[in-house]
């Protein structure tokens, strides 16, 4: 915490010095949205390069003066929380003055900018994300406040903890981890008692694009157990994008890649090639939108696809057919085909990429 306080004090000192010299204060932050600031490493995923381009948040410029003021306001909130050892979610910070901040996304972006500017992970700033992910299966752990959580005996899923770094005593006999894109599929597998029927496993869903806590938990489970991690996604560009976030990280959070990515994650399904192999009826597939075409084209150009020839092939199949499928399409074969046949066969015979 002293490191965090010192980093914030240095920023404020810079502001005060500028004012003393009658110069308008300026904050310099890394340009997080620029692919030119990103390098791809097999072992880490997408990470920010050391000498990346920056942007200035100026106090004397009408376009950025408001941003400058809000950044100082949030820095002051963080400083007080670290000093008093209290925590708040991003939503708490937004609701402390909704009129001032204007929207939740403004608060989210500024907090990420601050984390990147100070080179300090967000949880060390005492800012917690609101969690939306679920976990179930063969896993138990103790939360920071001493609460014991057992995901194994629960017929319902457990919410991913809001302070993943604080959990300890993780125990599991799981043979693998299954990341599931959507809540509906996750619930279906939970109802089918999938995690105990096939072999003990841990199931996780970020319910779409994963929040920070879900990604931190996947990484923590990988560090703790070093067991295979598979993904079950829709066979569409959006599903591939979500899988890449878990595996290689995202451009906007590349400054934290070391804590968030698991490059050993495997693509279990739903593969575009599975659709032909299983004779899925064309009427059950969904035609691409222009947005899908653009998304797929952008994914195909990314640096990590070049080192994944089998993934490249699958994306080419998708691009050629211009058709996409949700995991639910497997119910057209039979109602419980996913949990009874598809997943057990894939896991038994190595049907992943």
Residues carrying an active site annotation: 95
The answer to whether the CB of 217 falls within 8 A of the CB of 160 is yes
Can you tell me which residue has the tokens 């994963």? 210
With both helix axes pointing from N to C terminus, report the angle between 290-300 and 309-321 in degrees, rounded to the nearest 10: 160
Query: Which 3 state secondary structure label does DSSP give 153?
Result: coil
The answer to whether the CB of 151 falls within 8 A of the CB of 139 is yes
DSSP assignments along 87-150, one per residue:
-EEHHHHHHTSHHHH-SHHHHHHHHHHHHHHHT--GGGGTEEPPP--EEEES-EEE-TTS-EEE
Exposed / middle / buried, residue 146 (Cβ in 10 Å: 0-12, 13-18, 19+): exposed
Can you tell me which residue has the tokens 């105990």? 196
The answer to whether the CB of 279 falls within 8 A of the CB of 330 is no
Phi, psi dihedrals of residue 265, rounded to the nearest 5°:
-60, 140
Exposure class string for 46-62: b at 16+ Cβ within 10 A, else e: bbbeeebeeeebbbeee
Please, where are the H alpha helices in the chain? Answer: 2-20, 65-84, 90-95, 98-101, 104-118, 183-191, 194-197, 212-225, 237-248, 257-260, 272-277, 290-300, 309-321, 337, 343-349
Sequence-distant (6+) residues with CB within 8 A of 223 are none
């Amino acid at each position: 915490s002293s490191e965090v306080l010192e980093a914030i004090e240095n920023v404020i000192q810079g502001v005060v010095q500028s004012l003393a010299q009658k110069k308008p204060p300026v904050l310099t932050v890394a340009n997080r949205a620029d692919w030119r600031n990103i390098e791809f490493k097999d072992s880490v995923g997408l990470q920010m390069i050391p000498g990346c381009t920056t942007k200035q948040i100026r106090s004397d410029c009408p376009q950025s003066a408001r941003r400058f003021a809000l950044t100082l306001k949030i820095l002051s909130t963080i400083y007080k929380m670290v000093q008093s050892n209290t925590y708040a979610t991003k939503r708490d910070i937004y609701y402390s003055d909704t009129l001032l901040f204007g929207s939740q996304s403004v608060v989210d972006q500024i907090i990420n900018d601050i984390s990147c500017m100070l080179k300090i992970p967000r949880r060390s700033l005492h800012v917690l994300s609101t969690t939306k992910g679920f976990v179930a299966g063969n896993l138990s752990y103790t939360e920071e406040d001493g609460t014991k959580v057992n995901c194994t005996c629960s017929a319902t899923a457990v919410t991913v903890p809001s302070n993943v770094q604080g959990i300890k005593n993780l125990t599991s006999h799981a043979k693998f981890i299954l990341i599931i894109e959507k809540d509906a599929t996750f619930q279906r597998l939970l109802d089918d008692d999938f995690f105990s029927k096939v072999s003990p496993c841990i199931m996780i869903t970020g319910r779409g694009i994963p929040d920070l806590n879900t990604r931190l938990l996947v990484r923590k489970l990988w560090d703790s157990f070093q067991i295979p991690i598979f993904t079950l996604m829709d066979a569409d560009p959006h599903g591939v994008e979500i899988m890449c976030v878990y595996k290689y990280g995202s451009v906007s959070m590349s400054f934290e890649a070391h804590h968030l990515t698991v490059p050993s994650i495997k693509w279990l399904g739903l593969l575009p090639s599975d659709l032909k192999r299983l004779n899925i009826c064309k009427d059950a597939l969904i035609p691409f939108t222009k947005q899908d075409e653009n998304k797929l084209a952008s994914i195909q150009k990314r640096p990590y696809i070049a080192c994944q020839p089998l993934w490249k092939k699958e994306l080419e199949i998708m691009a050629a057919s211009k058709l996409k499928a949700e995991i639910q399409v497997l119910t057209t074969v039979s109602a419980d085909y996913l949990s009874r046949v598809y997943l057990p066969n894939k896991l038994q015979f190595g049907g992943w990429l």
